[in-house]
Every structure is written in C-alpha cells, then in structure tokens.
Amino acid sequence: MKKKIVVLLVLVLTVLSGCSFGADSHGSQKKESVKKIEQKNQAVKGAKSESLKSPHTVDTKGWISVKKPAHIPILMYHSISKGNSLRVPKEEFRAEMKWLKDNGYYTLSPEEAYAVLTQDKKPRQKTVLITFDDGYSDNYTEAYPILKKYGMKATIFMIGRSIDKKNHLTREQMKEMNRNGISIESHTISHLELNTLTPEQQRHEMSESKALCDKMFGQNTIMLSYPVGRYNDETLRLAKETGYKMAVTTEPGGASRDQGMFALHRIRISPGMSVKGFGAIVDRANG
Ligand SMILES: [Zn+2]
C-alpha cells in the first residue's frame, strides 16, 4: 500500500514537474530576456556614470588653498563676430585667450569652478571660467579652434529650442566640442525672462533643459545661465530644486559663493576692449 502511494506520488510529481517544465522553459525565456534588459540597463547606467561630470569627481588633492571665500572671474561672451555690443570680433577674442595663456590662467570646467567656489581651493593661483551664452554657430567656427589651439576649456550655455536652428549650434558640433573640453550647460528651453514666468513655467524651462543636456551629453548638468540675467526668488529656489548646483547672472564682477551659488556674477566682455584692460579686469576678479 505504502509502495503504491509512493509510486503514485512519484507519478504525480513527474507530471507536475513535466508541466512546470513547459511553463518553466517559457518562464526562463522570459527571465532570460528580462535579465538581458537588466544587463543592458546596467551597461547604460555604467556608461552614464563613467562620463558623469559631477563635482564629486573633481580631484582637488594637490589644489592650493585660497582666502575664503574663493573668487573667480567668470567671463561672459555671446557671439564671436562683429556688429553689436554683444559681439566680440575673432581677433579680439584670440588676443584675450592668448593673454590668459601667457599670464598663466587655468581654464576651469563648471565642475572645477563649483569645487573652487565651495572648497576655497584652486588648481592654480590664477583660474578663469570662460562662458558663452546662446550657443551661436560662431562659437564652433571661430572660438572653438582658438580654444583648442591653446588647450583651453570653456562652457556654452545653450538654448534648448535653438539647437540645430539657423546661426546656432548643431547637435553634432556640440558633441564634437564636448569631447574636447567644451561643456554644454543650460540656458533654458525658450530663453524667456524667468522672472516674468509663473513658477510652473520656470520649473519647466529649467528641468526640461537640464534633462535635454543630461541626455545629449550623458552628463549631470550642474550649471544654468538665466536668460538676459533675469531672475527672482522663485528662480533661485527652483534652480536648486530642479537639480542644478549653481547659476550665473549678468551682474558684474568676480564670482564668489557669498553672492549665492545661484546668483553668481560675471564679467561681460565687450568689443573694443584693450587687451591690457581685459587683463586688469580679469586679474582684479581673480582676487
Ligand atoms: Zn541669452
């Protein structure tokens, strides 16, 4: 009797396991593909974190301590061409970059600038952050070859909506520059004056442009330039909330964290400035 029960049990188990084999082979296929997707996601995540330009990845060991709070000149350019007060001719830009090089200035990435401003340490006594607003095509055709020649880093604040548009940078141009020391950070999506928008609209302008840059360059976009330098208290709050670490205005002078990391000052470089005058302004802002 016992034997019969055992045989029956074995039979039942065999049938059950047979059924479950069928289900299992199906399930394991599913599991397999889920696993593959997971592995793929991991790979994407891995690649992303490798190229993350987070301030935490900046190695400040060996940097020199400076007087608190650290000051840096953040230069503001727009177009490198001729025609109006926002356009700096190529020859002048070249002379200014040469002056920086000849005078021992180290060009910072946004991540390095963040480290300088928050840690009161510098990779070199003289440091500068070169920025361009709006992302004009001439940043690629005129400025980039000069920056590349001198081995200088710079940051372009791109307007999301202007990508691939007339007189503005293309994706390909930005990607090429990005591989060669030029950071692309946010100048919002639509270039509207943020202080005139509702908090919801402001949030949209900031978070969408961050997502765009994050995705396009596989980075953690940390810096924002307010269009036309306009902002209000909501802007300051939302810039932080949407994930940026710092933002620049058009208020004149050297930048330091006592201005607030979301209201950093900049030095507007205008056409017609003498190289000597340029040098004096930069030196003064370096502190
Ligand atoms: Zn602008």
Q: How many A from CA of 159 to the centre of ligand 1?
A: 8
Q: How many A from CA of 183 to the centre of ligand 1?
A: 16
pLDDT in tens, 228-237: 999 999 999 9
pLDDT in tens, 4-25: 554 444 444 444 444 333 334 4
What global pTM score does this model have?
Answer: 0.81
CA angle 211, 167, 152 (to 5 degrees): 70
46 against 123, higher pLDDT: 123
pLDDT in tens, 241-262: 999 999 999 999 999 999 999 9
Separation of CA 211 from chain center: 10
Q: How many A from CA of 228 to the centre of ligand 1?
A: 5
* 267 neighbors 88 (Cβ within 8 angstroms): no
pLDDT in tens, 169-227: 999 999 999 999 999 999 999 999 999 999 999 999 999 999 999 999 999 999 999 99
pLDDT in tens, 141-150: 999 999 999 9
Counting every residue written for the chain, the total comes to: 287
Q: How many A from CA of 226 to the centre of ligand 1?
A: 7
Q: Is residue 263 over pLDDT 90?
A: yes
Element (H, E) at 51: helix 2-51
The predicted pLDDT at position 2 comes to: 52
Q: How many A from CA of 25 to the centre of ligand 1?
A: 59
Q: How many A from CA of 227 to the centre of ligand 1?
A: 5
